[in-house]
Amino acid sequence: MRKLFLFMVMLIQLSAAGIAWQPFYDEALKQAQAEHKKVLVFMSQPGCGTCEYMKENVFSDGEVKAYITAHFIPLQLNVHHDDVPEHLRERVTPVFHFLDASGKDIHPKLIGGKTAPFFLKLLNEVNGK
């Protein structure tokens, strides 16, 4: 019985752990069109400490996570991969782009890490709320 309890706790923690980031640009746009949502693009790279800060402190925040899930298709791309569209290419990370379902920019990009309250306020602004 104890093993079952521990297993259930582990499953709950995993499901609450974070945002389900889409890894493919084209798939994210298709999903955004189907779900009538905007796309939040998180440009990152291995070894980026600020990217890790955003994952651990901002994207794990309950309000931020819920808002992104409800209003955006989250897309995380590695700046070093060849399949990154030209208009999203960056040299620094993290950088956040806000796109409509056709892939057009709908808000100026955000460079660098921010706090959860700041990021939530920005998401509301991008979403027109």
For residue 99, give the nearest of 20, 21, 42 by alpha carbon.
Answer: 42
Q: Which residues of 52-87 are buried (b: 16+ CB within 10 A; e: fewer)?
A: eebbeebbebeebbebbeebbbbbbbebeeeebeee
Can you give the pLDDT at residue 13?
A: 36
Domain boundaries, the chain: 18-126
Architecture of 18-126 per CATH?
A: 3-Layer(aba) Sandwich (3.40)
2-26 confidence digits (pLDDT tens):
444 333 333 333 334 589 999 999 9
Confidence of residue 29 (pLDDT cuts 50, 70, 90): very high
pTM listed for this prediction: 0.85
93-121 confidence digits (pLDDT tens):
999 999 999 999 999 999 999 999 999 99
